[in-house]
Structure 1
Amino acid sequence: MNISHQNIDEINAVITVDLGPEDYNPQVDKAIKEQAKKAKLPGFRPGMVPTSHIRRTYGKAILFDEINRLVSDQINQYISENKLDILGQPLPKEDDKNDYQWDFNDTFSFNYEIGLAPQFDVPFNEKSKFPEYVIKADEETLESRIKNLRRSYGKMTNPEVSEDGDVLYSELKQLDADGNELEGGIVNTASVRTDLVDDKKIKKTLIGLKKDDELTLDVKKAFKNVSDVARILGVKEEEAESLENTTFKLTVKNVNRLEEADLTEDFYDKLFGEGTVKTEAEFKEKVREEVESNLAQNAAQKLQNDLYLKGLDAVKVDFPEAFLKRWLKATNPEIKEDELEEGFADFIKNLKWTLIENRIITQNGLEVKYEEVLALAKERIAAQIRMYSPGQEPTDQQLAQYAVQLLGDKEQANRLFDEVKALKVFDYLKGLVKLEKKEIEYNKFLELK
């Protein structure tokens, strides 16, 4: 057996595997004997089928499978031993058209194309400068959070006249082109939230309404979100999406308003525990701390994105694009040509960043441990349980059991592994580059690119 590779250029190469009968026949003979032991064929006792019969009947198929397995194993071993940094997986060369007899005496020569990762230097060092934002809550954001908290502990009232933010409990009947009720049309009773109405002119028509008032409402014009339309009409999103007659008669059955809770010590105790907050000033400061603590995650995401964009811009390399497109088609046979072309630029960006991450990990001896992936899985599961089952706190043993089950799914395990890897690289870069702290109000932060 002989295996070698030849570089076509810096990012494309061909691996050649030459096999003679002495290389593959021992494995083929072994596979035939194993098949003979397992075979159940008419006229033969189980396990007593002659190997000559198996060779004559299934020999070429077994030969084909064993050679493919042998070639695949040898290529993978060669890539590992020669430390070839490849992209994707080796693909049989398209213009190889050798006509083999597959008679156990052929000499085979197989050529596989490989894409090579481009060479580059990691674009980060101690002199690299990045802003590290400390986001402060602006007054509008703070007041919005306070309002939401007060509404969460408020009480429902039924005022006579609707205002912006009220909920109109209404009956909706579908109309035809002439403005008459459509026979067999959609009829539903639902809560219409005025704060979700996107069209400003339509929103004005919903203000000042009383019980039993009627108006004509174009639901698709009023609500851009198809899920809102589907909920109000009591239909599936697909039906709401394809709806042609979108004009409805709305009849108000009741006006509902959620009054905000008063700023009292009882309200503060419900939020923060007894005696923790006693005054409005203390309450506002506590909310500010909570908001800014949550905004720290936004700042971290901004820094992470800045590092990502800097890496993509600084690393100027070429990729074996023709090979990668062929590989993507081979691994995703259902993908259409236009879909491939449309998403290829983003694929290259993600590939470039993955190579940067991998080089940082390799050069600095970083390691993603199973325990870290398991801990992240437990964290994700615990968050889900708290979201869907408030008040329920699983034990660490339960979380560990759920996490192990989750990691049994290869796709989920890979996703969590990549998350841990990304966090490790991010933490490393934060300790490497020069970070300049900058305070900024949240509304100004949102304007940053």
Structure 2
Amino acid sequence: MSAARLDATHDPLLLSWVESANRPGADFPIQNLPLGRFRPRRSDEPLRAGVAIGDQILDLRLALEQCPWADDVYPLLGPLAAGDVNSFMAMGRSAWRRLREALSEALAEGSDQGPFLELCLLPQAQAEMALPCRIAEFTEFHAGIHHAAAVGWLARPDHPLLPNYKWVPLACHGRASSVGLGAEVRRPRGQVKGAAEAPEFVPTRRLDFELEIGVVVGRASAPGEPLTMAQAEDTIFGLVLLNDWSARDLLAWEGAPLGPFLGKNFATSISPWIVTMEALAPFRRPQVRPAGDPPPLPYLDSAANRAAGALDVVLESWLATPAMVQPAPLATSSLLDAYWTPAQLVAHHASNGCPLHPGDLLGTGAISGPQPGQGASLLELTQGGRQPLTLPGGEQRVFLHDGDSVILRGSCQRRGAVRIGFGTLVSTVRG
């Protein structure tokens, strides 16, 4: 599997001249190098792409202008200097790897380029972040089997998983227009059915989060041309944290027979840094299915995917209320608990000839763990609202109140590799 190749950029002994990148537990060591878009705070400068390194951002516009590079690197930096991450992603995996190699060498301890690039750093605290790329389309999958089973049990205790679940990666289309960084999320209004015959049009009373991963498509596929598993793997640029907000009471009334609509499309929040598949190479794992489960159909199967299609990403959710001094942990789970791998999601999406575009975003669906207390949503953690959560200080929550902040984090670590992180995705509910 080409995306799982290890090289010198993953060397656990590699250090950076950016000191904060060498701190134990840093999300953005030199082995990570995620891409995002930003501008200096309180400025009207155009957006440009940057690379997170420690607590700094390497400004790729300044890096192009002020630092010498190998001849083949200049064309790679050009679109990024202009803030056009989508055009860079469209160049494909050889370009992605070459730029990663060049950036790793330039940011490494003892690099001759260090004195030039020192002048191209901006503290992350002084940056205004933007969406890391232009989101072309958004699709929400349902790949978290433990979430699917837990939510299904609330509605269908005798058969929580529908018969198609283990055969087909289920999904619905969302709205790219409402994908954002999610600093603030407005409580949506919609139709809610109570005891009265007529529904009400009111603000949702059951606002919830869903802890997910977003798969960022880097390369286009042609209309009418399905992708093999190998092609699907080679299409994925990287991953982001994703919170697919849910108005549970709106969903309950509008969901039949066509599925989610206004209860989902009002907001989807993603983190500002795309962690590339190259950075994630040390954390690939075999795809393992429970004994007795059906094998994937051939178009969703490959030896490479079975050997290393899964990704070991630890996911955490936290909640902060206006009355709390410190956020409280809610749950921890792992992307290894997903039933379908990222490549399978991409391959299935294109299997009927649906074209993909650079910047397409595929949500995995809520990734819950198998144990009680590992739910990736309040719907699961409160058993459908029947068991309120008691927070430090005595407050209780069933669903989110105005002023509450949901905090999502993700990280990868294993013996013999340097830990990398996704940063933090923080969103606050406003009425």
Query: How would you bin the TM-score normalised by the shorter chain?
Result: under 0.3
* More contact order relative to length (CA 8 Å, sep ≥ 6): 2
Scaled by the length of structure 1, what TM-score is found? 0.17
- Greater share of residues in strand: 2
